[in-house]
Chains A and B, each alone.
Chain A
């Protein structure tokens, strides 16, 4: 005599489907949390890099300080051009 599984399957399949959907949902949520970790980490990194960029821009600007350059030039024996030192060439 054959056991008829159909009624059982009819009952089990929807539950199985819901369970699978639940598992997928949970998996997506877990993935979202992992992405959340990653994003938070990237955001922190971005903030840090932006700060480093600003600090470096400040350093570059300090080194390019025109008054400092004039003074350094003076120490090397250079001077700002005076009247008559510059000859404008006409095209």
Chain B
């Protein structure tokens, strides 16, 4: 066999020999190549792959943007945009002096301290927090080693102080601290995204096809029932009223009585949540939800509803209102306007405390108290927000003759504007009391009085805005309205008595009277020039309701 091969080889010519030599050489090279490839891919493959990943695979994380907040018509109320912060790694700086000089050209205000900051022996220092994208680009273009940029999110409220107490605010870490931002924090906060990305020697990123998609990491958007335009108009009129009457503050709330949707909720003075440290914390208080005060004559709506519901209101019977002064044991009850005999409609129209307590005396204490509780007083209205107050209805055993009398015309119990507007919405909505809502959801309501009762109360309330009523300034051209005024003296906790110089003037009403579309309540806190709800709050109510009826 070997002999035969040798024989054949000797028979080959020079060209054939060369071809054979090249072929064999190529084969050997290929073999070596394959051996090397086998070693790289199979024998040491995993180890080398891990080494490569360690070198080039980068773990990335993105802070999820907080969800946006919109009004009922899609107007943006709160959003999050990126800002940048400049940091330095002083140990990595080639020259602190050069870096400081270049950065100072962009931010001259940093000049006094920057060089000292950059000359320290620390591993990390902040140079400047929260700069905009344009300034960030200028810093990036400097290409300074040891100087870097971190992207951060920042909450913005494009309408500044509009509905500020409702929207609330977030802290520097984008965590909800008050209002909607706090209440909806879990929904608004997105999930931080984490993934892997290859990065080459030049720092360029390569999509590894193994990272999860970045969609839907942002927080959920929230759509409110608030109408931003009505809110703006409301705040505008409240601001004017504060100025006109020299008041301490003013609040207003508008509700759709059928659905319980809150269309405007304003508390003045207010804070700009974009710069939360710039004003006093009390400006962030949402009084509509939290300020449980004595409602005064506004509660007469509930007292009369209870009287009608229990068949104790004879509309024809005349009651002696004692010319405005009545002594109950040692307690003196006064009316603002002096009358002698009045029918119930007159008592309601002139807001007679004496007439109301005499009418209420036909009810037993438990019945009136239970009805007040059924009308939603003494329990949180159901928004579920932390600042929501339940108010207070006195215990049955605490209701002596005087306490029962004062309860009937609105002293000795406390209620928030939200509770009062919810109850008035029941009157407007034929006895069905809606659950208030500020975030759009399915409406819910429960019956708290019979339909005829609600109608009769509406008729009584229409008298208040009539030519002889206490709120004739609330009349709107061509639109029948109904409402009730309230004027309460504020309790002076230090003196332990009512302060005859500090009042709360209020008006609550709805329009149109027979098929109400909107219920609005206005409270003017400590008006300086005038104190009556019909003179101070009713004109503001009229302006807000005029806008709502004509423009929404």
- For B474-485 the 0/1 string (1 means CB < 8 A from A) is 001110000000
Q: A84 vs B478: C-alpha distance in the bound complex, in angstroms?
A: 8
Check if B543 sits within 8 Å of A80, measured CB to CB. yes
Contact of A88 among B16, B214, B229, B550 (CB under 8 A): B550
**Is B205 an interface residue when CB atoms closer than 8 A count as contact?**
yes
* Chain A minimum-CB-distance residue to B160: A65
Is A55 touching B197 in the complex (CB atoms < 8 A)? no
- In residues 489-532 of chain B, which contact A (Cβ within 8 Å)? none
Closest to B475 in A: A83
Closest chain B residue to A54 by CB distance? B81
Could you tell me which residues of chain A, from 36 to 86, have a CB within 8 Å of some CB in chain B? 36-41, 43-44, 51, 54-55, 57-58, 61-62, 64-70, 80-84, 86
Given contacts A58-B81, A82-B543, contact A44 B205 (CB under 8 A): yes
Q: Which residues of B contact A8 (CB under 8 A)?
A: 23
Determine if A83 and B76 form an interchain contact, defined as CB atoms under 8 angstroms apart.
no
Say how far B145's CB is from chain A's closest CB, in angstroms.
22
- Decide: A39 near B550, CB < 8 A? Known: A66-B228, A80-B236: no
Q: Does B133 contact A (CB under 8 A)?
A: yes
The closest CB in chain A to the CB of B197 belongs to A40
CB within 8 Å for A51 and B209 given contacts A66-B232, A67-B235, A83-B477: no
Give the bracket for the number of chain A residues in contact with chain B.
35 or more
Given contacts A66-B228, A88-B550, contact A54 B80 (CB under 8 A): yes
Measured CB to CB, the nearest residue on chain B to A37 is B206
Is B206 in contact with A36, judged by CB distance below 8 angstroms? yes
**Given known contacts A70-B236, A81-B546, A33 and B206 CB-to-CB distance under 8 angstroms:** yes
Determine whether B12 belongs to the interface, using a CB cutoff of 8 Å to chain A: yes
- Contact flag A80-B547 (CB < 8 Å), given A61-B158, A88-B478: yes
Known contacts A36-B207, A37-B206; is-contact A83 B546 (Cβ 8 Å): yes
Size of the B side of the interface (Cβ < 8 Å), in residues, is: 46
- Asked whether B208 is an interface residue with its Cβ less than 8 Å from the other chain, the reply is yes
A23 at the interface (CB under 8 A from B): no
CB distance from B234 to the nearest CB of A (A): 10
Contacts of B207 in A (CB 8 A): 35-40, 43
**A22 to B70 Cα, complex, angstroms:** 57
Query: Is B11 touching A1 in the complex (CB atoms < 8 A)?
Result: yes
Q: Which of chain B's residues have a CB closer than 8 A to the CB of A38?
A: 207
CB-nearest residue of chain B relative to A87? Answer: B478
Nearest B residue to A67 via CB reads B232
B293 to chain A, nearest CB (A): 27
Known contacts: A51-B81, A81-B550, A84-B477. The answer to whether A37 contacts B158 by CB under 8 A is no
Closest to B227 in A: A66
Residues in chain B near residue A88, CB distance under 8 A = 478, 550
In whole angstroms, how far apart are the Cα atoms of A59 and B136 in the complex? 19
**A57-B76, A66-B162, A70-B233 as given contacts; A36 in contact with B198, CB under 8 Å:** yes
Q: Within residues 225 to 253 of chain B, which ones have a CB less than 8 A from any CB in chain A?
A: 228-229, 231-233, 235-236
Q: Is B113's beta carbon under 8 Å from chain A?
A: no
Identify A65's interface contact among B162, B214, B546, CB under 8 A.
B162
Q: From residue 22 to 39 of chain B, which have CB atoms closer than 8 A to chain A?
A: 23, 27, 30, 37
Judge whether B79 and A57 touch: CB under 8 Å: yes
Shortest distance in angstroms between B192's beta carbon and chain A's nearest beta carbon?
Answer: 15
Task: Tell me whether A58 and B162 are in contact in the complex, defined as CB-CB below 8 angstroms, given that A81-B550, A88-B550 are known contacts.
Answer: no
Inter-chain contact B81/A55, CB cutoff 8 Å? yes
Contacts of A35 in B (CB 8 A): 207
Residues of A within 8 A of B547 (CB): 80-81
A40 touches B550 (CB 8 A): no
Q: Mark A7-47, 1 if CB is under 8 A from B, else 0.
A: 01001100100010010000000001101111111011000
B236 cross-chain contacts in A, Cβ below 8 A: 67, 70, 80
**In the docked arrangement, what's the CA distance between A62 and B228, Å?**
13
Is B159 a contact of A61 with CB atoms below 8 Å? yes
A43 contacts across to B, CB distance below 8 A: 207, 214
A57 proximity list for chain B (CB < 8 A): 76, 79
Asked if B81 and A65 sit within 8 Å, CB to CB, the answer is no
- Which of A55, A80, A84 is B233 in contact with, Cβ under 8 Å? A80
- Complex contacts, B277 vs chain A, CB 8 Å: none
Name the A residues within 8 Å of B478 (CB-CB).
Answer: 88
Q: How far is the CB of B63 from chain A (nearest CB, A)?
A: 12
Cβ of A81: which chain B residues have Cβ within 8 Å of it?
546-547, 550
Chain B, residues 169-208, CB within 8 Å of chain A (1/0): the string is: 0000000000000000000000000000110000011111
**Are A3 and B12 within 8 A (Cβ)?**
yes
Asked if B81 and A83 sit within 8 Å, CB to CB, the answer is no
B156 within 8 A of A: yes
27 A-B residue pairs with Cβ-Cβ distance under 8 Å, sorted by A, are: A12-B27, A15-B27, A19-B30, A41-B205, A51-B133, A54-B81, A57-B76, A57-B79, A58-B79, A58-B81, A58-B158, A64-B75, A65-B158, A65-B160, A66-B228, A66-B231, A67-B160, A67-B232, A67-B236, A80-B236, A80-B543, A80-B547, A81-B547, A82-B543, A82-B546, A83-B546, A86-B550
Known: A51-B133, A66-B228, A67-B236. 14 other contacts (CB 8 A): A3-B16, A36-B206, A51-B82, A54-B80, A58-B81, A58-B156, A61-B79, A62-B158, A62-B159, A64-B75, A80-B236, A80-B547, A81-B550, A82-B546
6 A-B pairs with least C-beta separation = A61-B158, A66-B232, A39-B207, A40-B205, A36-B206, A61-B76
